[in-house]
Amino acid sequence: MIQQLYEQRDLPIEDLRKIGLASGKDIHMSNDNISALLSGRRTEILKLSDLSYEGHHIAELEAKLSVKPQRNGELGLLVHPIYKQAPHLAFLSIEEAESLEKGEVPNIEKIMYDEEGIPKDVIVEFDQETKEFIVIDEARILVPDRINGEYLSLDQKERYRKGKEVEMSDGTIVQFSATEQEGIRSNKLALIASVLIDGGLSFVLYQGLNYLFGKKQHDEDADVYSKDYYTDLENLEQQERRGEPFARQPDKQYSRTYTRSGSR
């Protein structure tokens, strides 16, 4: 889980129009991709066509998108194409970079310093699709207070924030990952995470989750859920009936690429 950082009205709609992913005020992307932008994450790989850049015409480009605040306070659109070779990060050793690129480790924890010399803890992951390193500020990671009805201990929350696996008593294992569309991996196809908001719990249903790092597929019991999962599912449905936001992440029912017109 990552905190929503921006409002949809603040997205760079004109930039999205230029690459064929918006018309008028309508954005032609899946809800998951829009949610990724609003949370400061990257979209899935999108297929962009008929682009113009600094006088050059690009017939087709596959890339992920993200947004970043500019000096004028507005959000700018960033395009992350697929690299043939990963750009090097100065603060990663050759050994660390290779271990990420080869998929030997899910992430590496580092300390970075901002322009004022203030340190911050970050997690570095490697996006196997774009061949690019991703740096995530740990302070931006929204750690769930509860998963499938069970509250996380302080140690479990710290492990989650640092991108380590966290196992719950019902056998559910979760791990934060910025390279995942939902920001999370699990040994279960679905789970319900809860966060405390204004003194009450808000429930989020995640579906179609990818398997844990190092696995090639889900186990046979990936769709077997605990009693507390179903109890929280009822709580989530009640929350939706009350019309409260922040309730459900859409299931993965869309294709991996989009055309210029945004059709699926």
Residue 158 predicted with pLDDT over 60: yes
Say which residue, 253 or 160, is predicted with more confidence.
160
Helix intervals (H) in the chain: 13-18, 31-38, 94-101, 154-161, 227-241
pLDDT tens by residue, 113-147: 888 889 999 999 999 988 889 999 999 898 999 99
Q: What's the mean per-residue pLDDT of the chain? A: 85
Record the tokens describing residue 177, joined without a space. Answer: 């990952």
**Mean pLDDT within 225-248:** 81
Record the tokens describing residue 70, joined without a space. Answer: 């500019």
Q: State the pLDDT confidence band at 251, using cuts at 50, 70 and 90.
A: very low
Percentage above 70 pLDDT, the chain: 89
Record the tokens describing residue 154, joined without a space. Answer: 């302080």
- The pLDDT of residue 264 is 29
* Angle at the Cα of 262 from the Cα atoms of 258 and 263, rounded to 5 degrees: 80
- The pLDDT of residue 56 is 67
State the DSSP code for 188: S
